[in-house]
Structure 1
């Protein structure tokens, strides 16, 4: 938990004080805390599938079981490990909220937390197959993960790109941005996600999970033959 907090302090100094991206954002520190902690959960699940199959090939070659259970168990472990950081992030974000009364909408972070991990399970399945068949893709996944982190409005408001319609539309369609906006709105701004946002998040979460399961399953017979 220490590393994310150090990252928050660094980003607050760099983006808040030097680059002035905090302008126009109410409770920038809370905005940043929630962005960093929850975005780390998303990118962490993208990365945890890297080499998962190859690192488990001894078990795969010895026992017969659904290979997807490796990714699912990894996701469940991440879900349990992420409970404490999520709770701490929400408490800290509220603590710098100038003692504003707690809104019921903060409780919506609970279903959003679970949806993040359903979405993340799909990502884990996709990266698990990619790196099982093409190990060198892990470098591309690492690069994408870092780029995704910085392009999802973690340290700044996407509204600054409103005068660039193509870029703005692309960035606001980003599922990570939609998750972060829903969490921040629920916790900090008493602005629960709309029905449309819930439908979008459900579609992204279960759609990614289904795509990941199908993509992973199509190569299941190949995993036992990995060398």
Structure 2
């Protein structure tokens, strides 16, 4: 008994050991209420979520610029490919569809018509395809850091906008210098509005497809095929008047948002005309509606992306 008492007297208390190892204040314990804790990656309210994205706007812009530069760093022409690539596509479409298949018949300023179609549709195509892959390609980033996941597809669209900037410069140069003259009027001032609506629409579609592709990865393989059908259905290198004997085809194409974008852009830049009111209403509805639906659908699955 005496031996046990000596051992107990000589044994250090746990708090004394903590104090010796970690300092005098280490024995002070703080009780944290579970009400102050939140699950990692939990879905915040929409207003908070939008605020988180806005706070990261400078980072998103810098990240998009860095990827635009690094994407062509290992090539000989570098960023010149941002202009050369759509020009080569346009040349291929001109040779095959314009000359061989005679698609330019009845189209005023077919070269300008084709250039606008190819350059603007390529922006949509690249943003949609890369936006759909943004969650799977950013998987490690999602698991390592807490941030609004919508930043990933939004960053992809920003990258597409930066890629489009030099392409638009080349497009305007080509429209001015090519033999077939365009009709420049005050209507050209409406082109930035058309472009802004296109960006809103593409952002919403990238968000929507990013959510869908994260749940079904095989969709990424299907999207590239669907983009070809969308290309043909947007009258990029032929006139919708070719189907005037098939009103149901014309109706489907006229309801196509990308056809509205290209038709409005051609009116403002080539034909000196302000797009019809129906075009503005339809394009605005597609742009705002797709952005709202895409954002809400993406936000609802915010907690699931970290488990991809």
The two structures share one fold, judged by TM-score above 0.5: yes
**1:158 maps onto 2:240 in alignment:** yes
Select 2:230's aligned residue among 142, 148, 151. 148
8 Å CA contact 2:175, 2:181 repeated in 1:
no
C-alpha distance in 2, partners of 1:108/1:97? 24
Secondary structure of the structure 2 residue equivalent to 1:127: helix
C-alpha distance in 2, partners of 1:96/1:107? 21
C-alpha distance in 1, partners of 2:295/2:142? 17
Structure 1 counterpart of 2:204:
122
Deviation at 1:97, TM superposition (A): 5.6
8 Å CA contact 2:182, 2:269 repeated in 1:
no
Select 1:77's aligned residue among 156, 159, 165. 159
Secondary structure of the structure 1 residue equivalent to 2:307: coil
Secondary structure of the structure 1 residue equivalent to 2:174: helix
Which runs of no fewer than 5 residues in structure 1 stay unpaired? none
- Deviation string, structure 1 residues 3-36 (Cα, Å, up to 9, x no partner): 2111111111111111111111011001000011
TM-score, normalised relative to structure 1: 0.94
Deviation at 1:101, TM superposition (A): 5.6
Which runs of no fewer than 5 residues in structure 2 stay unpaired? 1-82
How does 1:1-227 map onto structure 2 within 5 Å? 1-96=83-178, 98-99=180-181, 102-226=184-308
C-alpha distance in 2, partners of 1:8/1:22? 13
Secondary structure of the structure 2 residue equivalent to 1:224: helix
TM-score, normalised relative to structure 2: 0.70
Deviation at 1:213, TM superposition (A): 0.6
- Deviation string, structure 1 residues 97-117 (Cα, Å, up to 9, x no partner): 645563222222212112111
C-alpha distance in 2, partners of 1:189/1:2? 26
**Count of residue pairs brought into register by the alignment:** 226
C-alpha distance in 2, partners of 1:31/1:135? 36
8 Å CA contact 1:94, 1:187 repeated in 2:
no
8 Å CA contact 1:126, 1:216 repeated in 2:
yes
Tell me which moved more, 116-125 or 69-78: 69-78
Higher relative contact order (CA 8 A, sep 6+): 1
Deviation at 1:58, TM superposition (A): 1.7
Distance change in 2, residues 1:191/1:97 (3 Å)? farther
* Max Rg structure: 2
